[in-house]
Amino acid sequence: MTAELNLTADPVELTAALVDIPSVSGTEKAIADAVEQALRQQAPHLEVVRNGDAVLARTNLGRGSRVVLAGHLDTVPINENVPSHRTGSGADEILHGCGTTDMKGGDAVMLNVAAGLAEPRHDLTFVFYDCEEIEAERNGLRRIERELPEWLAGDLAVVCEPSNASIEAGCQGTLRVEVRTTGKRAHTARAWMGDNAIHAVHPILRRLVDYVPREPEIDGLRYHEGLQAVRISGGVAGNVVPDECVVTVNHRFAPDRSPAEAEAHVREVFDGFDVTLVDSAQGALPGLNQPAAAELVAASGGEPVAKLGWTDVARFAALGMPAVNFGPGSPTVAHTREEHVRTAEIRHCADVLRRFLG
């Protein structure tokens, strides 16, 4: 039996209802069924389609601009933190549970706005998608881009990921490389006959320790780059001098650099070593000079900040539109057993989006 959601209720109540529908990545059918049913029954002004375990809805009012709002329905594995519960009261009330922050609070805000705004001043598209928390090739946005690309077109994208209820503009790019050293095996009793590849990573680590990251300013926002070793692997056996060692390095780069430029920079840092690119993803420029983005910033009543991480705003930026993160909750508690969100932030985000769009 499909769970029933009241889209026009207090968005805090709606968040709790969504949290209480388990939706670990790959098992989103139940929550997608509930969202689809609620939109079809309670938002007759919207065109609704289903794509796998993603649900899409939009207005077709012929407005001069379109805003796309996106949020994923899946969560990381539950860690004894469902069903939801609350602590505190009033301005200090907190909703606890898996997905409260990442990102069912944002989904609830989107659903509440979708049902409550029949005559928005921009045309609106709402995208509730699956499999964001796992490998990128299964991300529902990628499938939608292939199969229903017209549903992702707009003049501004708002991804309702947790951003402490403030505008986080754009996002950093990310790439990983493997920096490899080689040596010669020998018995450790006669170590001088070999060449230890693990010992040879010392200059690699020294370069990382001494590295000074850029802090470029883009559209008035300061991005802080980073270059960090995230894994070291090497060794053959307890009595063998190792002949190979690999240091995996993650580079977070500001969106004024392309992945190719960031890769070239990393290769320059590790000049003289064998460097292999493992993966990379483009960042997203903030685009706050675009009219719709500027209007959202004004409606929020706060100062925007740079997004110091990678989110799906980059997918929308690659489609040629400015994109921002705006949602309730702190990213620092996402994916933890103690995940929670301040209920005041959920209501604030809903109020801001209604003011901006209505």
Amino acid at 218: I
Supply the DSSP string of 168-225, one letter for each residue.
Answer: EESB-EEEEEEEEEE-B-EEGGGGGGSB-TTGGGHHHHHHHHH------EETTEE---
Catalytic annotation, pick one of 28, 132, 225, 263: 132
Q: Torsion angle, CA of 38/352/172/288, rounded to 10 degrees?
A: 130
* Radius of gyration over every alpha carbon of the chain, rounded to an integer in angstroms: 23
298 backbone dihedrals φ, ψ, rounded to 5°: -65, -40
Catalytic annotation, pick one of 53, 74, 161, 243: 74
- Specify which residues 69 forms β-bridges with: 126, 158
Nearest to 87, CA basis, from 293, 302, 342: 342
CA–CA separation, 144 and 156 (whole Å): 17
Nearest to 74, CA basis, from 30, 9, 17: 30
* Residue 351: active-site member: no
DSSP letter at 15 equals: H
Burial 77-104 (b: 16+ CB within 10 A, else e): eeeebbebeeeeeeeeebbbbbbbbbbb
* Residue 53: active-site member: no
The pair of structure tokens assigned to 357 is: 């769009």
Those residues whose C-beta lies under 8 Å from the C-beta of residue 202, and which sit 6 or more positions away, are none
Catalytic residue numbers? 74, 132
